Amino acid sequence: MLIRLAGDPHNFRSLQSTLRAFKPAPASTDADPTSSKTYIWNARLRELAGGGLHLETLALFRRMFLPQNPLPDAFSLPFALRSAAALSLPLTASSLHSFALKSGYLPGDPFVLSSLLSTYARISLLLPLAHSLLYEICATASSTPIPTLIVCFNSVISGHTFPSGDALTLFIHMRRRRDLPFNSITLLALFPVSPLFSIPSLHALTVSSGFQSVPAVANCIITSYAKSGDVNLAQNVFNEMPAPRELITWNSLISAYSQNGLANHVLNLFDEMHISREVQPDPITLVGVLSSCANLGARAFGLRVEAFILTTTNAFSSNTFLKNALINMHARCGNLSRAQEIFDEMPDRNIVSWTAIISGLGMHGHGESALKMFDEMLLQGVRPDGALMVSVLSACSHSGLTVRGTELFSKMKNVYGILRRPEHFACMVDLLGRSGKLREAMELISSMPMDPDGAVWGALLSACKIHRNVELGETAFEHVVELEPTNVGYYVLMSNIYSDAQNLHGIARIRAMMKIRGLRKDPGYSCMEYKGRVQMFLADDHSHQQAKSIYQMVSTLENFARKVENRGAKMVDSDIQVLGIHSEKLAIAFGLLNTEPGTEILVIKNMRVCENCHLFIKLVSKIVDRRIVVRDASRYHHFAEGCCSCKDYW
């Protein structure tokens, strides 16, 4: 039915009017105008489409309808269809459909048929049409050869852009109802658009059908597991692959780690890749590595990567993705001026570059400069997007620019036309909350057009901690715990609110809740970078190879801490005992053992440093010849735990 419908000659006229809307191709892109041979025109179409010049492809295709030129044939159509898909032009696509029918290439020609389906599937507006067309082909044309049918299913499956049941349903239909075999390309198309719960069973199917030995399919499975957070399963797939594994395989696992916050694993894997000599890194590898350096504050490692980039070819050093990653790395590892330098020298900035530099400025408390950059960006005609606004709003929040932030927040909707998502509301709650406007923050939450998420209530909760508001804190806590019952950070935050209010009942209640729910506070850890490697210490951790001398150093430091004082504050035996062996103590001891006097010991910690430990570090700092800097890791992630960075800790 659809085939007939689209065959209306009226549609054929719309092909010509649609194509006429395009500018004619420049002279250099013309086929030899004197040629009457269709294949010469087709070769030119192929060149243009292959080079991504889709407008030019369609223009050339249109010229073939001029009287002196040969008409397009079945070989010309797929090029035009592919370009229509790339430009997402539904009318052009359906006109091409009509032309194909009128010229008799459909429904018989398998190539035209499959490229038409692929085009329909890639234009989101026409995806439902692709479905019905596919069912129609299955129902009517029993003459369609099986390989072509498989290609048709593959095309429509890959036309889906986000995980839903639809593609999976199609796949089940393909196998159960049509009894069609599938191939590796079916799997490559299917994995990325299947719901996460179905990944393990699809993996099993892949193994039983023998397609796991196709590297591309295995890579695809690694990525799918990474998306569903099953890093271990992703790792298993990688380990089961025979060496030498291809670059994309390594990159897939690096991204899997990096997207799941396992920054240390990324650096280790990168080393392993180097040592195994299986492959050489490419820009994609390095983007993942640099982002992990940024998350860890692994400055020396990041600098090594940068040095490597500078020794490579242009393809690396001019890569925009890579430059964005470098800006991010430098900003988060404390070298804002280098970040600014790279940004200033970039000829081809994109929205991500602006986001990186603005969030860097914001993170370091340069809210005014961040806003200046934002204005500059607008002047250059770059349209802000949702992610950029998160860094702009949080820059305001970190610098106390409440009025400007509020203005920008309302401009988002009214001027820039950006959909305001929960993370933007979380920024605003944080902004208002930090400046003590708890009631307004609460009102904003009530006015949200969508249900507030954990980050929103978490921002309110941490504002309640700052301003010691137990009552509102309890409200925020109730909500946040319902939304994210296993996020331990919120329990700790609420417990600290009670502790400030000396509400022992409250503390006991929170402890009991955590116990009943089987929650344990995440182990505290501290990281320190040494010789380009990130050293990680857990509280009371004896696993380090230098453990013995580290513990000796710790007890030396403890003795010092008992003797010195800082503005009247001193530590006594019981303080030291209560403090125990926190991870930062181990990291600092390690730093003292392994670095030269006069250098800086930078420790990144995953949670706030307790008062007692804070004092310990202050006392120790007075007597050692190093500068000890402890930074909270949450400073390096926006709203990572629902509460944001921590100027007030230090």
Partner DNA sequence: CTAGGGTTAG
Nearest-angstrom CA–CA distance, 304 and 266: 15
Q: Order the strands of the 600-605 sheet from edge to edge.
A: 533-538, 525-530, 600-605, 627-632
Of the listed pieces 38-46, 421-429, 446-454, 457-465, which binds DNA according to CB under 7 A?
A: 38-46
Min dist CB 151 to DNA, Å, is 3
- Regarding 462 and contact with DNA (CB under 7 A), the answer is no
Min dist CB 327 to DNA, Å, is 10
Instruction: Select 271 or 385, whichever has its Cβ closest to DNA.
Output: 385
Tell which positions 538-577 bind DNA, by CB under 7 A.
none
Site string for DNA, 93-112 (x = CB under 7 A): -----------------xx-
- Regarding 206 and contact with DNA (CB under 7 A), the answer is no
Determine the number of helices (DSSP H) and then strands (DSSP E) in the chain. Answer: 35, 4
- Regarding 634 and contact with DNA (CB under 7 A), the answer is no
- Regarding 46 and contact with DNA (CB under 7 A), the answer is yes
Q: Residue 177: how many CB atoms within 10 A of its CB?
A: 10
Exposed, middle or buried: residue 59 (CB in 10 Å: 0-12, 13-18, 19+)? buried
Nearest-angstrom CA–CA distance, 581 and 579: 7
Structure tokens of 159? 């036309």
Beta-strand pair 600-605/533-538: unpaired
Nearest partner of 386 among 193, 638, 164, judged by Cα: 638
Min dist CB 646 to DNA, Å, is 18
Nearest-angstrom CA–CA distance, 307 and 383: 33
- Of 24, 147, 229, 244, the residue at the interface with DNA (CB under 7 A) is 147
- Regarding 57 and contact with DNA (CB under 7 A), the answer is no
Q: Is 74 helix (H, G, I), strand (E, B) or coil?
A: coil
Min dist CB 183 to DNA, Å, is 5
Structure tokens of 126? 């026409």
- Of 259, 260, 566, 612, the residue at the interface with DNA (CB under 7 A) is 259
Structure tokens of 279? 């492959």
Of the listed pieces 130-138, 286-294, 519-527, 544-552, which binds DNA according to CB under 7 A?
A: 286-294
- Regarding 355 and contact with DNA (CB under 7 A), the answer is yes
C-alpha distance across the termini of the chain, in Å: 71
For the chain, how long is the longest CA-to-CA vector? 99
- Regarding 324 and contact with DNA (CB under 7 A), the answer is yes
Dihedral sign, Cα of residue 432, residue 436, residue 440, residue 446: positive
Tell which positions 170-199 bind DNA, by CB under 7 A.
183, 185, 188-189, 192
Site string for DNA, 371-400 (x = CB under 7 A): --------------x-xx--x---------
DSSP secondary structure of 613-648? HHHHHHHHHHHSSSEEEEEEGGGGSTTTTSS---GG
Provide φ and ψ at 409, rounded to 5°.
Answer: -60, -40
Residues in the chain: 650
- Regarding 62 and contact with DNA (CB under 7 A), the answer is no
> Is the distance from CB of 105 to CB of 111 less than 8 angstroms?
no
- Of 287, 426, 494, 615, the residue at the interface with DNA (CB under 7 A) is 287
* Dihedral over alpha carbons 46, 48, 49, 52 (to 10 degrees): 150
Of the listed pieces 287-295, 392-400, 406-414, 587-595, which binds DNA according to CB under 7 A?
A: 287-295
Of the listed pieces 128-136, 216-224, 370-378, 492-500, which binds DNA according to CB under 7 A?
A: 216-224
- Regarding 609 and contact with DNA (CB under 7 A), the answer is no
- Regarding 435 and contact with DNA (CB under 7 A), the answer is no
Instruction: Select 278 or 474, whichever has its Cβ closest to DNA.
Output: 278
Tell which positions 151-170 bind DNA, by CB under 7 A.
151, 154-155, 158
- Regarding 11 and contact with DNA (CB under 7 A), the answer is no
Tell which positions 293-312 bind DNA, by CB under 7 A.
294
Of the listed pieces 75-83, 395-403, 406-414, 415-423, which binds DNA according to CB under 7 A?
A: 75-83
Instruction: Select 375 or 451, whichever has its Cβ closest to DNA.
Output: 375
Instruction: Select 246 or 632, whichever has its Cβ closest to DNA.
Output: 246
Nearest-angstrom CA–CA distance, 418 and 87: 23
Residue pointed to by tokens 């980050």: 455
Q: Is 566 helix (H, G, I), strand (E, B) or coil?
A: strand
Nearest-angstrom CA–CA distance, 108 and 144: 8
> Is the distance from CB of 150 to CB of 180 less than 8 angstroms?
yes
Nearest-angstrom CA–CA distance, 610 and 22: 66
- Regarding 204 and contact with DNA (CB under 7 A), the answer is no
Min dist CB 47 to DNA, Å, is 11
- Of 72, 163, 281, 283, the residue at the interface with DNA (CB under 7 A) is 283
- Of 325, 396, 581, 587, the residue at the interface with DNA (CB under 7 A) is 325
Nearest partner of 121 among 157, 77, 96, 172, judged by Cα: 157
- Regarding 649 and contact with DNA (CB under 7 A), the answer is no
The residues of the shown chain that bind DNA, judged by CB under 7 A, are: 39, 42-43, 46, 74-75, 78, 82, 110-111, 114-115, 118, 147-148, 150-151, 154-155, 158, 183, 185, 188-189, 192, 215-216, 219-220, 223, 246-249, 251-252, 255, 258-259, 283-284, 287-288, 291, 294, 321, 324-325, 328, 350-352, 355-356, 359, 385, 387-388, 391, 638
